[in-house]
Amino acid sequence: MSNIEEANEPPAKRQVTLGRAMVLLALQAGGMIALGLWLWDWSGRASERFVTVSPSQVLQGLAVGGALIACALAIFRGIPRLGEKLVRMQAETYGFLGPRLGWPAIVFISLCAGVGEEALFRGGFQTLLGDIVGVPAGIALSSAVFAVIHLGKPVITALLFVVGAMFGVVYWLTESLLAVMIGHALYDIWALRFLHREFLRLGLVADPSRLANPARRS
């Protein structure tokens, strides 16, 4: 990008870099984990039972993540226009990803989201609300908060509510926070990679290969 183009770029886009976003996401994840654990303790449960680890829970998490990825692939390949529309809707929200996004950043961001959000919304909110208003309502309410807090467009918010409810049901059936954390993080790894590739393909962020070789520009 030339100096003139950079100067004309909106200040908000210049300020939110990938590095800064990753730091903020890490802090956010830490806060979510702490709040989720606090809500769990407030519900009268032992802290050491907040997250337990076993091979079966790991397998459950891998299965959940794999199933979500398979569903998303089927939808996007079956209805490509829908996939492109959803990608364009998220271009502004995820503009901080920039033209270069390596696997370490993808994994880091996905782990922050998967661990932090599940600790708060499933381990904290859903558990406590389930005790107060019952499991179905607890899943619905915690999923609604999960969806709204992402500040997406209405269609994206609705999809996030559905995904949150799916994680809520899995958590209820398995009683494993680790399983939904793994499933969430695994799906986010695929989703971030997919989003970034589509951003480049659609020209929503600059393709680094084209920046390095101006002659390849169309």
Q: What is the pLDDT of residues 45-82, one digit of tens each?
A: 999 999 999 999 999 999 999 999 999 999 888 888 88
Q: Reply yes or no on whether the pLDDT at 15 is more than 60.
A: no
Segment 155-197, tens digit of pLDDT? 889 999 999 999 999 999 999 999 999 999 999 999 999 999 8
The rounded Cα 86 to chain-centroid distance in angstroms is: 14
Rounded distance between C-alpha atoms, residue 99 and residue 113, angstroms:
21
Other residues' Cβ atoms within 10 Å of the Cβ of residue 181: 26
Whether 75 is in a domain gets the answer yes
- Reduced to 3 states (helix: H, G, I; strand: E, B; else coil), residue 94 is coil
Rounded distance between C-alpha atoms, residue 217 and residue 201, angstroms:
13
Domain count, the chain: 1
Q: Residue 93: exposed, middle, or buried by beta-carbon count in 10 A (0-12, 13-18, 19+)?
A: middle
CB 106 within 8 A of CB 21: no
- Write down the pTM of the prediction: 0.85
| Domain span at 83 | 54-208
- Per-residue pLDDT, 5: 39
Report the share of the chain in percent with pLDDT over 90.
62
